[in-house]
A and B are shown apart, each in its own frame.
Chain A
Amino acid sequence: MKRIYRQLTALALGTMLASQAWAFGGFNLDLNKIISAGKNLSEASKEISEPEEISIGEGMASVLLGAAPLLKNDAIQTYINQVGRYLSLQTERPDLPWHFGVLDSVSVNAFATPGGHIFVTSGLLKKMHSEAELAGVLSHEIAHVLRKHHLAAMKKAGGMGFLTDVASIAVDQKGGGGYAGKELSKNLISGMKEILVRGLDKDDEYEADRMGIVIATRSGYDPYGLPAVLQTLDGLSGTSDVSLLFSTHPAPASRLDTLSGLMQSKFDHYQGQSVSDRFRRLVPNGGNN
């Protein structure tokens, strides 16, 4: 626990620094807000700011891209951004800087990082049959961002002192403490990896399933896209390609059981599109099992 806490503290500090290292979005941290949070404990227990959230997410996205690069297919990368951005417009956070990417990996998985970075592996994409299935998976990941599930996992692991430490580190930064050197950045990175490897709260995964189905349905897709992918994943259990996915999520069969009653009573009267033609043009070997 102590080790994780230290990593998370480093993660928070690194996030400050990351705003320079990964400053593509052109945002700035609101240091004054963090400093005042440090002066007031009840304030400090509030959520961290959106720019911080985005900054943490950019760092985690960069780590993920260090594990597997983007698939070298510009048409697919543009396509997933179009589908994902459209889905994000049907949510309560349409103005986050949403970014979507297909990772070049045989592993079957999808990831989100705070503030709007969403990833699907090419291995998972090839198992899908339609745009509605892709929309279902993206919507599940979008829900993790909407509900700040990763930040909740960090808070849970880091304890109540986490945010006050963020604040005090921010003060140091403002005072010209500067970059603490390579050791820090190593700690920062391992803190991010810790969250990626440990996964999220199981209840948050079920919540993301429920919300994901709603977001896809709102967008006009077949509500059963996500359940169809879960059915495919269930059929892959026992293979090595799904080992990380299975260790970080409830079993697909449990997720399907949980959705079963909900789908029948709530979603059967919605007509949605599966949009399989253009999906198959872009992912010609889709549906491979």
Chain B
Amino acid sequence: MAELTYREAVAAGLAREMDQDPTVVLIGEDLRAGGVFKTTKGLFERFGPVRVRDTPISEQAIVGAAMGAAMGGLRPVAEIMFSDFYATCWDGVVNEIAKARYMSAGRLTLPLVIRSANGGGIGFGAQHSQATENWAMCVPGLKIACPSTPGDAVGLLAAAVRSDDPVLVFEHKALYGVRGEVPDGDHVVPLGRAAVRRSGADVTLVGLASTVPMCLAAAADLAAAGVEAEVIDLRCLVPLDAATVLASVGRTGRLVVVEENPGQLGWGAAVAALVAEEAFGDLRAPVLRVSGGNVPLPVAKELEAEVSPSAAKVVAAVHRALDHRRVAPVP
């Protein structure tokens, strides 16, 4: 067990996969220099220029080359520096990578990963702060992993690299400095399996990446007030561990989904709809969402905080859910 920061865990996870499998190669901008978030630090020195390839600022080329390399026998891990930049190469991701297997009736296999720094909270502004995982969730054919801890940064990356399906890994840039335990040896977190980070009987909180520590902070506050919240870390949007969410709601009867992407069409809406459709009878209160605001993300700390989810907003939502029981049932 080593204690690493989330950013160190990404580099360590990449190194573990490259050690294990000589066909794992990296492609992206500034990798040799360690990456702007220092998530590829030391890898060029260790694995050399054939396996760690710096590219020009050509996101379409990065994504397309990763696809071609995967078709040609490699397991590429591409980096899109900020997930906002997916907009410049979304065609390759959505129209090519996501559809190749299906359109070829299974004859093309794309074992590739695209990693990206996602999300806000550190004042990077509207073009470098978006939580874009919901963009990907609209597209059948992409798996989506969003680690919330250093351990998962390694474990989900391992599963993603070894998967024969294309996986987008959204690393949260506000978590890069967070420290946590990373198991030694071969640590793999299977895709599509949520983690129950805290058990509780009163309300289910569902979070992803940055909103998981937020939910845990809210749960701690709520516990002080005598409310026991169960915190589920989804870890992946696709495959989605609906069973874990439904089972938890079956026990608690209340659900608050906490998502960073804009609520006007965030992944939380999909989770809420699923629970409404399949666990309506279990619900003792309306499903509530705490979402990112439906505005481009501003920079000043107070403005960014105003439109971002927070532990305090989660606590407030939980109280609204709990207050619902005081409304007399319709006779």
Q: Do A and B come from one complex?
A: no
Residues on A facing B (Cβ under 8 Å): none
